[in-house]
Amino acid sequence: MPSVSNSHKTNEIAVSVRGLGLTYTTAIDRRPTLKARVKSLGRGSKHTRVIRALDNVNLDVEYGQVLGVIGTNGAGKSSMMRVIAGIIPPSQGRIEVFGSVSTLLALGVGFNSLMSGRDNVFLGGLAAGMSRDEIESHFQEIADFSELGEAIDAPMRTYSSGMFSRLAFSVAATVRPDILIVDEALSTGDAKFKEKSLNRIKELRSDDRALILVSHAMATLRDVCNDVAWIHKGKLVQRGAPDTTIDAYQEFLQVGKSAAIDEDV
């Protein structure tokens, strides 16, 4: 994944999603075991179920756009982000990504909780295809932004969930890819860090970058995005100006502009 960005012009396509469908089989048990399989032999019970996560989604993201993605839980938002990032292959359709593919690097940090935050940042970056030097050059900035101090060298199992996501967000926001996908990582940390991360997102908005933000924080999306896509049950319901789309979504939810949905929760 080259992170050297050749400059992209505004309105050039960053991500093109055509007829995207995603159907996958997954285990019903959270932890499928051979024992359970053997015990239920001959009983004809099912062990897997088929999930239709996405259905014929067409979506273009241009450079210079900040696309907010909204929808209820289980609507397929995260699945779509994973397909765009190349983590899950699509079942139908075609996805083209023009530019250095951003990753959901954010949440990949901390995959080994026994290792220190520093090790995890390095390993996450290396797995995403960055070079050691590249990570090294960003590391100080990441550590500073996360405000973890000496805790960066402590094992990640000692981190609070707030510290965890602060480090994750810092990685995502410091490594500057052409296309950045932030999946529900905005609304983490305390109020101070929340504001800091929101400001960073605003800083990252630029003509040669595309941002895709998945969030339930409607107020934030209204504030930051210049385009919003609403996904429901794997289908793209509406795409357009933030206010129009979010209003329609909120009306659909029949909650109106209640405090609960405007709040950064």
Partner 1 sequence: MSAPLQVYEPFTAGLPPLIRYWKSLWSRRTFISEYSRSELREQHFDSVFGQLWLVLNPLLLSAVYFLLIVIIGGASDATRYAHLTATLFLFYLVANSLTGGVKSITAGQRLILNTAFPRIMLPISAVVIAVFKFLPTLVVFLIIRTIVGLPFSWQMLWAFPVLLIAMLLALGLAITISCINVYFRDIASFLPYLTRSLLYLSPILYEASALKPKLMALEVLNPLFPILDSWSRVLVHGQAPQVSSLLAGLAWAIGVFLIGTYFFLSREREFAVRL
Q: Report the interface residues with partner 1, using CB under 8 A.
A: 1-2, 12-13, 16, 24-27, 31-35, 37, 51, 82-101, 103-112, 114-115, 119, 122-124, 126-129, 131-132, 155
Report in angstroms how near the CB of residue 242 gets to partner 1 at its nearest.
26
Nearer to partner 1 by Cβ, of 90 and 242: the residue is 90
CB-CB contact of 170 with 197 (8 Å): no
Nearer to partner 1 by Cβ, of 87 and 241: the residue is 87
Report in angstroms how near the CB of residue 123 gets to partner 1 at its nearest.
6
Report in angstroms how near the CB of residue 178 gets to partner 1 at its nearest.
9
Nearer to partner 1 by Cβ, of 159 and 249: the residue is 159
> Please, what is the angle between helix 161-174 and helix 191-204, to 10°?
10
**What is the rounded distance in angstroms from the CA atom of residue 227 to the CA atom of residue 250?**
16
Q: What are phi and psi of 146, to 5 degrees?
A: -75, -15
> Partners of 106 in the beta sheet?
none
Helix, coil or strand: residue 90: coil
Q: What are phi and psi of 91, to 5 degrees?
A: -90, -35
Report in angstroms how near the CB of residue 171 gets to partner 1 at its nearest.
11
Report in angstroms how near the CB of residue 31 gets to partner 1 at its nearest.
5
Nearer to partner 1 by Cβ, of 25 and 254: the residue is 25
First to last CA, the chain: 33
CB-CB contact of 173 with 104 (8 Å): no
Nearer to partner 1 by Cβ, of 30 and 192: the residue is 30
